[in-house]
């Protein structure tokens, strides 16, 4: 099959970019795969894609490129097709409308996959007849306001299928959106096995990684670690990442006298080399659409102490087996208690480390790609003629019933075994 991924900016760094390249690389073992980036702002992608993947762009924002579109007059005119309520709307324009729609009108792939809401709307409405159209949600339904939900509800019935990263979000879409006949599945993000050996578990470091943003609640983690230091001053914390909260966190570290125990390390890529220096990973987010860093840490053998935030952590962590879940509204004392339970019990930490390695193998790209391949094949087989507009609902419902027998939700699936 020929497969195309349509992505916002495949030359940048981000969870969706990393996930897309991981999945595309695995699919490229058996299929012809391309990643089409709406924007290009640098000569080479920041995350190196597999050489078997073709990467191309639609709009060139490089300043020193002969083909740069930075002076194109349509770049200054607002987008009409990209949803106005989408968080990235300001980045899109009449030029992106023109280029995306031209690409979709002539695409030759068997399957086209959109990777964010605004691109899924383009995909649903502008793709020529023929290719299977699949929209992906890399955030959550709850992250979208009512205006955007209305736009998605108007366009998404024209898709052939839709995926979320967690079963919790898939249930939200099934219950909260009117998508007649459009099957919705949870497809976890693929995370490759690290090239490095797993952690030894004897270092006295807690490691955290991610954007230094309010939603990550690193201030809670720093305050919790002040309580860890009071009991176990031999342990330390490294936080990897960059963002708007950096100065605020530095001030907090100084105010709490933690400058010899908590370290802001800046961004690191690849992050695996930093995970394996620790013995415990910490996640304090108030919202996780999936929990990529949780899986990355577990694939390195780290048990994870995480807030039980919607939606991902509870589908990945089996509390007390491969990590600990702390109530999302808990204070520093409760989170510190979760860390100290593993810090103070070497045997428990070793057991959880081994369990983390075993359970995280289900997120291997080969396993996730196999499920996507089944989805592609089944959708293509179930299609039949495509009536116009909402009259397609009957065809969608028949296709959904057929797919239910092929990719039926697994009622027994628990703790991150993606449905």
What is the DSSP-derived secondary structure letter of residue 214? G
| Whether pLDDT at 116 is above 60 | yes
Residue with the two structure tokens 């002539």: 106
Domains of the chain (ranges, CATH numbers): 2-186 (3.40.50.2000), 205-362 (3.40.50.2000)
Q: Quick check: 255 and 224 in contact, CB under 8 A?
A: no
Report, as an integer, the average pLDDT of 116-127: 98
pLDDT at residue 102, rounded to an integer: 98
Residue pLDDT, tens place only, 341-359: 999 999 999 999 999 999 9
What is the DSSP-derived secondary structure letter of residue 207? E
Report, as an integer, the average pLDDT of 399-414: 37
Q: Provide the percentage of residues in the chain whose pLDDT is more than 70.
A: 91
Asked if the peptide bond before residue 276 counts as cis, ω within 30 degrees of 0, the response is no
151-160, 177-186, 386-395: which range is least confident on average? 386-395
| Whether pLDDT at 299 is above 60 | yes
Q: Provide the percentage of residues in the chain whose pLDDT is more than 90.
A: 86
| Distance in angstroms between the alpha carbons of the first and the last residue of the chain | 24
How large is the greatest C-alpha to C-alpha distance in the chain, in angstroms?
A: 68
Q: Give whole-number Cα distances, 179 to 154, 373, 387, 412, in Å.
A: 9, 23, 16, 25
Report, as an integer, the average pLDDT of 153-157: 97
Burial (CB count <10 Å: 0-12, 13-18, 19+), residue 195: exposed
pLDDT band at 311 (very low <50, low <70, confident <90, very high): confident
pLDDT at residue 13, rounded to an integer: 86
| Whether pLDDT at 412 is above 90 | no
pLDDT band at 410 (very low <50, low <70, confident <90, very high): very low
- pTM summary value: 0.86
Question: Of 200 and 370, which is predicted with more confidence?
Answer: 370
| Whether pLDDT at 106 is above 50 | yes
Residue with the two structure tokens 């176990």: 232
pLDDT at residue 336, rounded to an integer: 98
pLDDT at residue 384, rounded to an integer: 59
pLDDT at residue 14, rounded to an integer: 85
| Whether pLDDT at 197 is above 50 | yes
> Is 397 strand, coil or helix?
helix
Report, as an integer, the average pLDDT of 388-405: 41
């Amino acid at each position: 099959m020929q497969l195309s991924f349509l992505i916002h900016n495949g030359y940048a760094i981000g969870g969706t970019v990393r996930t897309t390249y991981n999945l595309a690389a695995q699919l490229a073992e058996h299929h012809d795969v391309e990643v089409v980036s709406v924007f290009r702002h640098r000569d080479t992608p920041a995350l190196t894609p597999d050489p078997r993947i073709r990467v191309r762009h639609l709009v060139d924002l490089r300043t020193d490129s002969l083909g740069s579109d930075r002076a194109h007059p349509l770049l200054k005119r607002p987008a009409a097709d990209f949803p106005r309520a989408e968080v990235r709307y300001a980045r899109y324009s009449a030029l992106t409308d023109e280029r995306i729609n031209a690409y979709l009108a002539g695409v030759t792939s068997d399957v086209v996959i959109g990777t964010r809401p605004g691109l899924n709307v383009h995909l649903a409405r502008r793709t020529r007849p023929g290719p299977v159209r699949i929209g992906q949600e890399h955030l959550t339904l709850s992250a979208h306001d009512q205006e955007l939900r209305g736009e998605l509800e108007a366009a998404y019935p024209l898709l052939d299928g839709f995926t979320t990263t967690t079963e919790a979000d898939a249930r939200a879409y099934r219950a909260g959106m009117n998508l007649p006949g459009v099957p919705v599945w949870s497809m976890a993000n693929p995370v490759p096995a690290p090239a490095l050996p797993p952690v030894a578990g004897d270092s006295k470091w807690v490691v955290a990684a991610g954007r230094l943003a309010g939603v990550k609640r690193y201030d809670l983690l720093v305050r919790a670690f002040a309580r860890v230091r009071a009991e176990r001053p031999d342990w330390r914390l490294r936080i990897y990442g960059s963002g708007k909260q950096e100065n605020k966190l530095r001030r907090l570290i100084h105010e709490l006298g933690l400058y010899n125990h908590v370290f802001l390390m800046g961004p690191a890529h690849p992050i695996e080399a930093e995970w394996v220096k620790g013995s415990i990973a910490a996640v304090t987010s108030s919202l996780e659409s999936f929990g990529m860093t949780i899986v990355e840490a577990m694939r390195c053998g780290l048990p994870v102490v995480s807030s039980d935030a919607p939606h991902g952590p509870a589908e990945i962590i089996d509390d007390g087996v491969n990590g600990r879940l702390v109530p999302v509204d808990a204070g520093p004392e409760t989170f510190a208690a979760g860390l100290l339970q593993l810090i103070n019990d070497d045997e428990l930490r070793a057991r959880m480390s081994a369990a983390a390695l075993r359970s995280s193998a289900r997120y291997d790209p080969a396993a996730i790609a196999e499920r996507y391949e089944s989805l592609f094949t089944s959708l293509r087989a179930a299609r039949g003629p495509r009536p116009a507009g909402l009259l397609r609902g009957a065809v969608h419902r028949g296709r959904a019933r057929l797919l239910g027998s092929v990719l039926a939700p697994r009622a027994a699936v628990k703790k991150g075994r993606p449905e």
